[in-house]
Amino acid sequence: MEAIILAGGLGTRLRKVIADIPKPMAPVNENPFLWYIFRWIKQYPVDKLIISAGYKAENIKSCFGDIVFDIPVEYAVEENPLGTGGAVRYALQRTSGDDIIVLNGDTYFPVDLRKFILFHKENNSSFTIALKRMRDFDRYGTVECAGNIIKKFNEKKYCKEGLINGGIYLINRNIIESWNISGAFSLEKDIMEKEAGTSLLKGMVFGDVFIDIGIPEDYRKAQTILRSV
C-alpha cells in the first residue's frame, strides 16, 4: 500500500507562532509535526510514502530524505500550486497500486489503517473517508451520512455534536484518473462535495484523537497532546 501525504500547506495562520516553513514542518516538542504522522503510519503495511509538497519543499526533503522509519519516501513537488485535488492527481504518477491512502500533512488522526482498509474492501468502496465524531465545535463543517454512504457536507457553523471529515482517504486510482478538471482544483470542494449523495463516497467513523494545527490555539494544544502519545 502506498500513501500520499499532502504537505504543501503555507501555514499562513501560524505565521505569528512559527517560522517561514511549510505548515507540516511546524515544530512540536522538538520534532516536525510530520514526524508524528510518520511514526503512526509505520505500524501499518505502507511500503512507500509520496510527499506532495510545494512551498519550501526543500525543508521537508532535507529533514527526512529518502527513507523514514524504514519506509521509502518520494517527493512530488509542484512548480505551481495545484490545490488538494491537483496535488493528489500529480502525486499519483509516483504510485502503482490500485488503492491509495491520501492524508493531510497538517492533521494527526491515528486511526487503525488495517480496519480502514478492511472496511474499504468489504464495502466494495472506491472512495472511503475516515470520519471523526466531535462535540462543541465550529471550526469544521459537518458530514451527513445514511448508513455508511456520505450524503452531504455542510458549511462551518457551531455544532453541539456531529461528524467531520478526518482528512484521511482511501481512493481507487481509477477514480483519481477520472477527474477531468484542468489546472488547480480542490479535492474537498470540486470532488467530494459534488459526489456527496451518490453511492461513491463512503465513511467510517473513528474515535481516535484528532489534531489539526491550522490555528495557533490548536497548534499549542498539539504540544501537550503529542507529548503523551
Q: Which pLDDT score, from 0 to 100, does residue 69 have? A: 95
List, as one string, the DSSP characters of 177-210: HT----S---IIIIIIHHHTTSSSEEEEEE-S--
pLDDT digits (tens, 9 = 90+) for 175-208: 999 999 988 999 999 999 999 999 999 999 999 9
Q: Which pLDDT score, from 0 to 100, does residue 56 have? A: 87
pTM, two decimals, is 0.94
118 to 123, 125, 211: CA distances (angstroms): 8, 10, 24
Is 14 in contact with 215 (CB distance < 8 Å)? yes
CATH homologous superfamily, domain 2-228: Spore Coat Polysaccharide Biosynthesis Protein SpsA; Chain A (3.90.550.10)
Classify burial at 148, counting beta carbons within 10 Å of its beta carbon; exposed 0-12, middle 13-18, buried 19 or more: middle
